[in-house]
Amino acid sequence: MDIASIFRRSTLLSMAFITTLLVGCGGDGSGNRIIIVNVSDSPEVCDHGLDIPDIAFFCEPPLYNIETGNLEGYAAMVEGFSHEFGVASVLRVQAYPIEDQAADGPIYDFRLIETIRTTQVAQVGDIYTFDIPLNGYMFQFRDGQYAIQGYEFNCAEGVDCQQLLEIDGSEGLATIEFTYVGGEVPITLTSWN
């Protein structure tokens, strides 16, 4: 074996050892952490931790640390990950401190390292019901498609989605029902009041 081969092998072994130490410690000494989180199959209504009356959002599912059970953030905060309605995921993410963090804002941002597992939870015909505050931030119509904070949906026959869009901002509350249908746009608004 020549000197170059020995040097390459020892360098690779050293790098593997150091990487194992860093990951084993949960970080790299800079405040970064490697964690595994659960992401549920459906979004939820939340306030994102902001103390602003009457402001709520249709949030992507929360990230729960598998080891501690603590809430770490929301799926939308994970760079490189896109949540799909009806699908639960287990992710390995790098959590890194946010520079110039706002006083009431999140502490960490997240970067996807690996999707460990995805599970198709929703079955065609499953119904999801949400009480949605009509605060003017919930519903959108763009490029011929209705959406609720990023989640595109279709309208069932006889359901007036345009009226729902028009009353968003009325400061009322609407109970909406989505039916999981699968496919490219996996949910259909089947009723609201």
Last residue of a domain, one of 120, 143, 172: 120
The answer for residues whose C-beta is within 8 angstroms of residue 67's C-beta and 6 or more apart is 35, 36
Asked if residue 136 and residue 110 are part of one domain, the reply reads: no
Q: What is the pLDDT of residues 139-177, one digit of tens each?
A: 999 999 999 988 999 999 999 999 999 999 998 889 999
Tell me if 135 is assigned to some domain: yes
Last residue of a domain, one of 103, 120, 137: 120
Model's pTM, two decimal places?
0.76
Asked if residue 144 and residue 80 are part of one domain, the reply reads: no
Residue type, 148: I
Total domain count, the chain: 2
Stretches in the chain below the pLDDT threshold 70: 1-30, 47-56, 103-105
Q: What is the pLDDT of residues 10-27, one digit of tens each?
A: 333 333 333 333 344 444
- What pLDDT does 172 receive? 87
